[in-house]
């Protein structure tokens, strides 16, 4: 009887942490484990960099985040701190302080930074949006911004495998250009329909080595957009405009799109012999909002899906593998909770208590 009481007390105590209500005890009601004990870290299993997103704030204050990050990942992308809105604070005026914190953290720990994103219609500072100078002055500002930013972040170097490399190894130069929002945004309106190529040229002029990427969502399914990106690559190559790689964001679901469709689209990019980055991977399991706690059935389906997606990435020839970046650490950190207005999305590899979900095992198995 005493033992039973003690057990009940222990259970109540371990479930009372206000943060852990979503995945209390990491077991679903049918007593199936939702977490597992990882034996090997993802970065050690992978033949390519495995990344996650950070903020300057988190890597300065959150020790649990830092140790989880450094255990499994060897590439970091700023979720927001290295976007135009955060860095370009006035005409020819920049604030690189958050990015600098991220770069020094990476350098101290010998991991790379991926720059995200120089130009994106969703991250335009208000002062630039309202800039009332001429179009050519506008273009000059954007050119200076790209060059100053790329140059600034090309300065920090580190030694990896005996070789000196820049800490910031690549940039999403333009993000999500093949959308209506981008068509209507000021870059196209004020610089012209060739603004994308100009941005790549300016970035290359500032740094001859850094890898230059075009990044977009929906490239797993949307054949119109895929064709636009493939045509852009051909056009760039035929006209000596630099481009090194493509980021497929990979915001996907545990069922859709079908793996075969992702595989077919991926092959089209592989055929172009560009670097390929799965740049923002997360996998939802509750698009119909029909669960309010993670069930074993969904967790297992997600585990299988992570395994399949990571395994699919191995179709990319080894020299073209830029890496896979997860878009978030814990389920509760994900942008999707707000975006889908659903607190019960479980798209990532760690639960609220930084325990490795079985989706992490799927990722690990996909690497082998
Ligand atoms: O995860 C990011 C979220 O915190 C920001 O509010 C949002 C707007 O800046 O951007 C999110 O990240 C986006 C990324 O930069 C580009 N691809 C889509 C991502 C999810 O919206």
Of the listed 79, 176, 197, 300, which one is catalytic?
A: 176
Q: Is the CB of 342 under 6 A from ligand 1?
A: no
Asked whether the bond before 257 is cis by omega within 30 degrees of 0, the reply is yes
Other beta carbons within 10 angstroms of residue 268's beta carbon come to 14
**Distance from the alpha carbon of residue 282 to the mean position of ligand 1, in angstroms:** 12
Q: Is the pLDDT of residue 28 over 90?
A: no
**280 noted as active-site residue:** yes
Calpha distance 50→74 (Å, rounded): 6
Other beta carbons within 10 angstroms of residue 161's beta carbon come to 5
Q: What is the arithmetic mean of pLDDT over 3-10?
A: 42
**Distance from the alpha carbon of residue 28 to the mean position of ligand 1, in angstroms:** 30
Calpha distance 78→122 (Å, rounded): 15
- The number of the ligand 1 atom at minimal distance from the alpha carbon of 123 is 9
**79 noted as active-site residue:** no
pLDDT of residue 31: 80
Q: Is the CB of 28 under 6 A from ligand 1?
A: no
Distances (CA, A) of 89 to 77, 138, 147, 302: 21, 14, 15, 41
Joined tokens for residue 234: 């051909």
- The number of the ligand 1 atom at minimal distance from the alpha carbon of 339 is 21
Calpha distance 60→27 (Å, rounded): 32
**Distance from the alpha carbon of residue 80 to the mean position of ligand 1, in angstroms:** 7
Other beta carbons within 10 angstroms of residue 60's beta carbon come to 12
Q: At a CB cut-off of 8 Å and minimum separation 6, what does 136 contact?
A: none
Q: Is the CB of 216 under 6 A from ligand 1?
A: no
Residues 85-122: pLDDT tens digits?
A: 999 999 999 999 999 999 999 999 999 999 999 999 99
The per-residue DSSP string of 54-110 comes to: E-HHHHHH-HHHHHHHHHH-SEEEESSTTSHHHHEEETTEE--HHHHHHHHHHHHHT
Q: Is the CB of 249 under 6 A from ligand 1?
A: yes
Ligand 1 probe mutation, 121, 249, 335, most atoms within 8 A of CB: 335
pTM for this model (two decimals): 0.93
Q: Is the CB of 122 under 6 A from ligand 1?
A: yes
**Distance from the alpha carbon of residue 327 to the mean position of ligand 1, in angstroms:** 9
- Nearest CA, atom 12, ligand 1: 79
Name the pairing type of β-strands 157-160 and 211-216.
unpaired
pLDDT of residue 60: 96
Q: What distance lies between CA 328 and its chain's CA centroid?
A: 8
DSSP E strand stretches across 188-284: 211-216, 245-248, 251-253, 275-284
Residues 307-366: pLDDT tens digits?
A: 999 999 999 999 999 999 999 999 999 999 999 998 899 999 999 999 999 999 999 999
Q: Is the CB of 175 under 6 A from ligand 1?
A: yes
Nearest CA to 316 among 364, 362, 282, 267?
A: 267
Of the listed 79, 220, 280, 345, which one is catalytic?
A: 280
The per-residue DSSP string of 180-213 comes to: HHHHHSHIIIII-TTHHHHHHHHHHHH-SSSEEE
Domains of the chain by start residue, with CATH: 38-367 (3.20.20.80)
Give 29's pLDDT tier (boundaries 50, 70, 90).
low
Residues 180-236: pLDDT tens digits?
A: 999 999 999 999 999 999 999 999 999 999 999 999 999 999 899 999 999 999 999
Q: Is the CB of 52 under 6 A from ligand 1?
A: no
Q: Is the CB of 279 under 6 A from ligand 1?
A: no
Reported as half-sphere exposure (CB side, CA atoms, 13 A), residue 2 has a value of 0
Nearest CA to 97 among 69, 60, 140?
A: 60
């Amino acid at each position: 009887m005493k033992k039973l009481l003690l057990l009940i007390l222990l259970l109540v105590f371990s479930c009372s942490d206000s943060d852990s209500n979503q995945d209390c005890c990491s077991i679903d009601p049918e007593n199936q484990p939702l977490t597992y004990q990882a034996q090997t870290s993802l970065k050690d299993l992978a033949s390519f960099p495995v990344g996650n997103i950070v903020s300057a704030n988190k890597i300065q204050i959150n020790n649990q985040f830092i140790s989880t990050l450094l255990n499994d990942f060897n590439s970091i992308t700023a979720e927001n701190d290295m976007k135009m809105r955060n860095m370009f604070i006035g005409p020819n005026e920049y604030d690189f302080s958050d990015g600098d914190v991220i770069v020094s953290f990476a350098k101290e720990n010998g991991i790379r930074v991926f720059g995200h994103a120089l130009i994106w219609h969703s991250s335009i500072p208000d002062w630039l949006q309202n800039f009332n100078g001429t179009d050519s002055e506008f273009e000059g500002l954007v050119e200076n911004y790209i060059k100053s930013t790329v140059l600034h972040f090309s300065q920090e170097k580190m030694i990896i495998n005996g070789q000196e490399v820049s800490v910031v190894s690549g940039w999403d130069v333009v993000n999500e250009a093949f959308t209506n929002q981008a068509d209507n945004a000021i870059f196209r309106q004020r610089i012209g329909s060739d603004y994308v190529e100009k941005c790549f040229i300016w970035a290359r002029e500032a740094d001859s080595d850094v890898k230059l990427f075009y990044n977009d969502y929906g490239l797993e399914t949307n054949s119109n957009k895929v064709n636009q990106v493939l045509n852009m690559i051909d056009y760039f190559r035929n006209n000596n405009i630099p481009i090194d790689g493509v980021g497929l964001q990979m915001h996907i679901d545990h069922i859709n799109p079908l793996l075969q469709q992702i595989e077919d689209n991926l092959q089209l990019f592989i055929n172009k012999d560009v670097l390929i980055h799965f740049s923002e991977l997360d996998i939802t399991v509750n698009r119909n909002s029909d669960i309010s706690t993670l069930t074993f059935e969904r967790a297992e389906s997600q585990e299988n899906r992570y395994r399949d997606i990571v395994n699919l990435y191995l179709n990319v020839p080894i020299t073209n593998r830029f890496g896979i970046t997860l878009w978030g650490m814990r389920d509760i950190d994900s942008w999707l909770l707000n975006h889908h207005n659903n607190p019960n999305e479980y798209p990532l590899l760690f639960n609220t208590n930084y325990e490795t979900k079985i989706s992490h095992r799927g990722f690990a198995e996909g690497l082998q």
